[in-house]
């Protein structure tokens, strides 16, 4: 039997590194094409900041020590440009640290957030109720999914509780913990010294603050984030080409 290795041209160590470098550079360039346009990203940051400022100004919500932070693709750095100009979404948690789940039920927390937004002349016509979040729709641009949450007193690992309107229960989630787990893995780089200068890989930092900013779009993506972006684009294309299977397409789910 002829072994596959015997059919391959022998490579020197430097040739192998050069080939791998070229491959990763090609993947990086493809990844750049999946990025959201800088202007649209900056607009999302601006909208995010405006909404948080307005919510924090609520006498009810503001008294419950609110802490807002991105979750999902924006927090992980794996957002991709939608196909054919569809809207993309920015997910963030609005954690009310002063609201104990035994003192406030799911509907109270949800209603407080919803009523605050409905009471604003700008947001009133843009608000839509979802199962676990309140969505603000910026037509033909993007939408903000705001998930209210309270701290989980039963967990010492930073878990939170989010309301499920349909089931009328608190459901545990830990998006910040997921980002903390994902970040150091995504910071890993190929074991070749030449990659350090050839590729813009690096660590993706998440700032902790009262209202955490949307991670900068220009920060290095790294191999893992690019791989996730490629898989998401494959999902989008496959779903478009197979509409009868659209309901089975994996969703972006971060715990």
**Residue 56 burial by Cβ neighbours in a 10 Å radius (0-12, 13-18, 19+):** middle
**Residue 124 burial by Cβ neighbours in a 10 Å radius (0-12, 13-18, 19+):** exposed
Residue 157 carries which DSSP code? S
Selection from 213, 212, 190 nearest residue 202 by Cα:
190
Print pLDDT tens along the chain (255 aa): 445 555 556 778 888 888 878 877 887 788 888 888 888 888 888 889 999 999 999 999 999 999 999 998 888 988 888 777 667 788 999 999 999 888 888 889 989 999 999 999 999 999 998 888 999 998 777 889 999 999 998 888 889 999 888 888 899 999 999 999 999 998 887 665 544 444 444 433 333 335 666 666 556 678 888 888 889 888 888 888 888 887 777 776 544
Architecture, CATH, for domain 26-207+218-240: 2-Layer Sandwich (3.30)
pLDDT value of residue 202: 43
Tokens standing for 209? Answer: 């603050």
pLDDT value of residue 213: 66
Strand-pairing partners, residue 136, are 127, 144
SS3 track for 38-50: HHHHHHHHHHHHH
3-state secondary structure of 68: strand
3-state secondary structure of 236: helix
The dihedral over CA atoms of 208, 213, 218, 219, expressed in degrees to the nearest 10, equals 10
What is the spatial distance between Cα 238 and Cα 254, in angstroms, rounded to a whole number? 22
Q: What is the Cβ-side half-sphere exposure of residue 224, based on CA atoms within 13 angstroms?
A: 15
142-151/160-164 β-pairing:
antiparallel
The dihedral over CA atoms of 144, 150, 154, 159, expressed in degrees to the nearest 10, equals 30
What is the spatial distance between Cα 219 and Cα 203, in angstroms, rounded to a whole number? 8
């Amino acid at each position: 039997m002829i072994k596959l290795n015997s059919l391959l041209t022998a490579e020197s160590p430097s040739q192998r590194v050069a080939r791998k470098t070229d491959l990763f550079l090609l993947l990086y360039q493809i990844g750049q094409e999946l990025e959201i346009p800088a202007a649209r990203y900056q607009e999302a940051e601006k909208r995010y900041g405006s909404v948080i400022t307005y919510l924090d100004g609520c006498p009810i919500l503001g008294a419950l020590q609110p802490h807002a932070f991105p979750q999902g693709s924006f927090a992980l750095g794996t957002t991709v440009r939608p196909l054919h100009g569809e809207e993309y979404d920015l997910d963030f948690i609005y954690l009310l640290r002063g609201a104990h789940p035994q003192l406030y039920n799911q509907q109270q927390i949800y209603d407080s957030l919803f009523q605050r937004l409905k009471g604003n002349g700008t947001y009133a016509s843009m608000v839509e109720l979802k199962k676990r979040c309140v969505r603000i729709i910026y037509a033909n641009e993007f939408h903000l999914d705001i998930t209210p949450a309270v701290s989980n007193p039963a967990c010492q690992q930073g878990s939170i509780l989010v309301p499920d309107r349909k089931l009328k229960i608190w459901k545990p989630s830990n998006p910040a913990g997921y980002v903390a787990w994902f970040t150091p893995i995504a910071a890993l780089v190929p074991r070749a010294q030449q990659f350090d200068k050839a590729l813009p890989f690096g660590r993706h930092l998440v700032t902790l603050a009262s209202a955490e900013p949307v991670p900068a779009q220009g920060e290095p993506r790294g191999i893992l984030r690019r791989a996730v972006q490629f898989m998401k684009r494959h999902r989008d294309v496959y779903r478009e080409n197979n509409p009868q299977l659209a309901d089975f397409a994996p969703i972006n789910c971060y715990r």
